[in-house]
Structure 1
Amino acid sequence: MHLASLRLPAPAKLNLMLHILGRRADGYHQLQTLFQFVDHGDELGYAVRDDGRIVLNTEIVGVPHDSNLIVRAARALQVESGCALGVDIWLDKRLPMGGGIGGGSSDAATTLLALNHLWQLGWDEDRLAGLGLGLGADVPVFVRGRAAFAEGVGEILTPVEPPEPWYLVVVPQVSVSTAEIFSDPLLTRDSKPIKVRPVPEGNGRNDCQAVVERRYPEVHNALKWLGKFTEAKLTGTGGCVFGAFPSKAEADKVSALLPDTFAGFVAKGSNVSMLHRKLHSL
């Protein structure tokens, strides 16, 4: 990334709860979920080009250049803003694909915010989040960068301030297809909406968990293992699972015991994303 003039993080997110209220006529699901960021993620580098080309210089196995969400985000912003500039992009990929921690959506959001800055477009957060929604339901939460209670398909966001513990995130060696989980006939789709604000304690379940555990034994095993030390939960549609700890030392201690069949990382929960903290310091 030595050629990059701007480097920014693309943080992971956790869904502290995820309830599915029903399926809409367009096939999307009505959700209620609680997003929180963690201080761990991908890193992207950017350098402006004056020939208008959008070039991702990092190859992602199995993802063609033009269908990568990073490239699609850059092109969408270029088209909508009428900007004649282009960009070179480098990606240091640390977040697993199909992990439910928002890797692709976070990369896309970081790209929108980075190019708004580098191309000096002056777009506000609402406009960027609106463009982001067309790329994926999780993109707006990363654009806004604040822990949030999300409703609708995940686009109606209310900022919240949950506790910020340390987390151990366990990464089973599987890539879970979100579409596959949401189309499973056994998925719970009739959770009662939570009307109370802030969201009351004890609503921490994830309606996708039973389906994911049934389809992916590795995720079931990860939940079972982590559950010996703390309450273990699935994030998003998986496959990553996580548990909260009161200190880094305690999370590190359990992380050191991880079996070879799992990867994992320890990270601090954060109600303001590390991307936004970095942007504010520019």
Structure 2
Amino acid sequence: MTAPPLRHPWPAPAKLNLMLRVLGRRPDGYHRLQTVFQFIDRQDRLFFKPRDDGRIRRTSNLAGIPEESDLVVRAARLLRDRAGSGLGVDIRVEKQLPPGGGLGGGSSDAATTLVALNRIWDLGLSESELTELGLMLGADVPIFVYGHAAWGEGIGEVLTPIDLPEPWYLVLVPQCEVATAAVFSDEELTRNSAPITIKNFIAGDDRNDCLAVVRRRYPEVSAALDWLATVGRPRLTGTGACVFCTFATVAQARAACSMAPPRFSAFVARGMNRSPLSEVSRV
């Protein structure tokens, strides 16, 4: 597979957190975590048009996301300044992933921007250098640069590749956005879980320590989890708002999706151990 031509899209896939344990709070206020990331075949699409005047612009209008605070703009500027480049770019973002949904949409867009512009601007930064820049933008950006399903530790940036089954997922999108910072600052959040191993996870220990807090704070998420329990085993990705359950076949997932209440957006997606961004960038 070759890298996309300049006018063709670069993928920014979603992820699911298949487990999330909070081990403790660090002196800097961040939390020590254990988690498992897997990609799904739902994605945003980004288009890049290089400029030679050093300007970085987002040409798409994204409701509720000012250009100056958009992670794609911040990522492009960070990369340009890190490399000492005089180049610029126009960036168009076609959004499919909901904000505040726990699918990593903004972080994935930022990672795709780093990876694509490193290639387009011919900067030659290594994956580890891009990962370091990504961590400056957010704890979820490194997994999207890394590009493989992974066991995550630290604040989610210490990654170990893991090969998982690639099932079909039914994902519900409640009509709310979850404030991750509010969940992690909640006094009732479990912060002292004992660490587990990959073997423990594979054996079925896949709880999410944020679940109880998110249920209490966000009734729409709680309602989505309750409905999913009628068709499968409901789970929360990250701090949500999105919830999901697993099916062995696409037919089973689509049948369940067809029964989802209209109050929730719902879609079916395939689990993927390798990111489509990784496929186009490592040629």
Q: Into which bin does the TM-score normalised by the smaller protein fall?
A: over 0.9
Q: C-alpha separation between the residues in 2 aligned to 1:162 and 1:180?
A: 31
Q: Which residue of 1 aligns with 2:41?
A: 39
How many Å apart are 1:7 and its aligned residue? 1.4
**Structure 2: which amino acid aligns with 1:14?**
L
SS in 2 for 1:134: helix
Deviation track 1:167-223 (CA, whole Å, cap 9, x = no partner) reads: 011000000000010000000001100145474321111100100000111101111
1:114–1:151 distance in 2 versus 1, CA, 3 Å: same
Q: C-alpha separation between the residues in 2 aligned to 1:130 and 1:279?
A: 18
| Superposition map of 1:5-16 within 5 A | 5-16=7-18
TM-score (norm 1): 0.96
Aligned: 1:121 with 2:118: no
1:78–1:252 distance in 2 versus 1, CA, 3 Å: same
- Aligned 8 A contact 1:50 1:85 in 2: yes
Q: Percent identity?
A: 56
Q: C-alpha separation between the residues in 2 aligned to 1:227 and 1:280?
A: 40
How many Å apart are 1:274 and its aligned residue? 1.6
Q: Which residue of 2 aligns with 1:276?
A: 278
SS in 1 for 2:178: coil
- Aligned 8 A contact 1:234 1:242 in 2: yes
Following TM superposition, the consecutive aligned residue runs of length 4 or more in structure 1 with deviations greater than 4 angstroms are none
- Aligned 8 A contact 1:164 1:270 in 2: yes
- Aligned 8 A contact 1:160 1:198 in 2: no
Gaps of 5+ in 2: none
Aligned: 1:209 with 2:197: no
The CA RMSD over aligned residues, in Å, is 1.3
TM-score (norm 2): 0.96
- Aligned 8 A contact 1:6 1:47 in 2: no
Aligned: 1:189 with 2:186: no
Q: Which residue of 2 aligns with 1:142?
A: 144
| Superposition map of 1:37-186 within 5 A | 37-186=39-188
Q: Which residue of 1 aligns with 2:223?
A: 221
| Superposition map of 1:21-32 within 5 A | 21-32=23-34
Gaps of 5+ in 1: none
How many Å apart are 1:276 and its aligned residue? 1.4
